[in-house]
């Protein structure tokens, strides 16, 4: 995936956002999101979340960090710009009898007053916003002074980062758009947040565990919007090439020896404290 650092003013961000919305609305990201629940739990621990705090989950998907925060008795507002994903999160919260407010919202234009949350979270969500600078400003704006922003972002060199680069050879990203994988580097986060906050980050892994490489490919082709859309956008011969390249990546990274698939997926766990 292109790691371009072009200015947001030079590209049609609204068109890019519409394209992204179509990708995340396709398939069934909630099926993938359910497997990532542990990341939300770990992020709540990383920010040392307390039960008397007001929490905003941004680009929440189907609510992994949302549910993790609500389980810790925080007051939680869950947002995403894909309404169907919020509906999935609401069903999960209802099943677990967790009181959560769900509100459709764009991460670049959060409909909340300044300094209205103690903690702002996002797991593999806000990193995909086209206008990264604006999204970072919004996260900071709604977080109170002394509050924390907790993020989980895929790294460029990790499994998902390499998957995006593999897909990008067949379906290149829009010219000039900054790579979401930049959010998986502390240097970029320092640039986005350092004037208003102190950034702490560490690399950790979410371990993908599937029945086999074929199971992973079938599951992601059916449910993960960026992969589903990529296969749909290219000709049959290119699809076969992309599939072969993905299998090659899976075979390279799979640490299982029993026919199943076990791949550590590196991501950056980030805790940003907003300055007073």
Of the candidates 172, 159, 179, 180, the one whose C-alpha atom is nearest the C-alpha of residue 246 is: 159
Q: How many CB atoms lie within 10 A of CB 228?
A: 18
Distance from the first to the final alpha carbon of the chain: 36
State the pLDDT at residue 10: 59
> If you write DSSP's letter for every residue of 26-74 in order, what string do you get?
SS-HHHHHHHTHHHHHHHHHHTT--TT-EEEESS-TTTHHHHHHHHTT-
Pick the CATH number of 8-207+265-274 from 3.40.50.12370, 3.30.160.160, 3.40.50.150, 1.10.3470.10: 3.40.50.150
Mean pLDDT to the nearest integer, 72-79: 98
Confidence of residue 6 (pLDDT cuts 50, 70, 90): very low
State the pLDDT at residue 19: 74
Question: For 106-150, how does the pLDDT look when each residue is reduced to its tens digit (9 = 90+)?
Answer: 999 999 999 999 999 999 999 999 999 999 999 999 999 999 999
Q: What's the pTM? A: 0.92
Poorest-confidence range of 10-19, 48-57, 101-110, 247-256?
10-19
Mean pLDDT to the nearest integer, 50-58: 98
Confidence of residue 9 (pLDDT cuts 50, 70, 90): low
Compute φ and ψ for 134, nearest 5 degrees.
-65, -40
* CA diameter of the chain: 56
Q: From the centroid of its chain, how far is CA 77?
A: 17
> How many Å apart are CA 144 and CA 194, to the nearest integer?
16
State the pLDDT at residue 194: 78
**Residues 82/107, Cβ–Cβ less than 8 Å:** no
User: What is the domain partition of the chain in residue ranges?
Assistant: 8-207+265-274
Residues with Cβ within 8 Å of 203's Cβ and at least 6 positions away in sequence, in order, are 155, 266, 267, 268, 269
């Amino acid at each position: 995936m292109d790691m371009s650092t072009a200015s947001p003013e030079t590209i049609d961000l609204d068109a890019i956002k519409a394209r992204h919305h179509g990708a995340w609305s396709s398939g069934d990201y909630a099926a993938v999101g359910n497997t990532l629940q542990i990341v939300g739990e770990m992020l709540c621990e990383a920010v040392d979340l307390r039960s008397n705090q007001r929490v905003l989950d941004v680009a929440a998907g189907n609510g992994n960090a949302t549910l993790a925060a609500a389980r810790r008795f925080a007051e939680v507002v869950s947002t995403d710009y894909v309404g169907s994903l919020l509906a999935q999160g609401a069903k999960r919260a209802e099943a677990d009898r967790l009181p959560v407010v769900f509100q459709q919202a764009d991460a670049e234009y959060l409909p909340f007053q300044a300094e209205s949350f103690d903690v702002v979270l996002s797991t593999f969500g806000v990193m995909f916003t086209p206008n990264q600078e604006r999204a970072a400003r919004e996260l900071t704006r709604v977080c109170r002074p002394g509050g924390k922003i907790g993020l989980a972002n895929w790294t460029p060199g990790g499994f998902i980062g390499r998957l995006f680069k593999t897909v990008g050879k067949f379906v290149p990203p829009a010219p000039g758009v900054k790579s979401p994988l930049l959010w998986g580097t502390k240097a970029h986060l320092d640039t986005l947040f350092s004037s208003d906050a102190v950034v702490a980050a560490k690399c950790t892994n979410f371990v993908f565990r599937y029945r086999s490489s074929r199971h992973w490919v079938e599951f992601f082709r059916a449910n993960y919007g960026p992969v589903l859309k990529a296969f749909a956008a290219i000709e049959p011969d290119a699809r076969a090439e992309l599939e072969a390249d993905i299998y090659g990546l899976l075979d390279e990274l799979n640490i299982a020896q029993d026919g199943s698939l076990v791949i550590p997926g590196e991501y950056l766990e980030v805790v940003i404290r907003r300055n007073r």
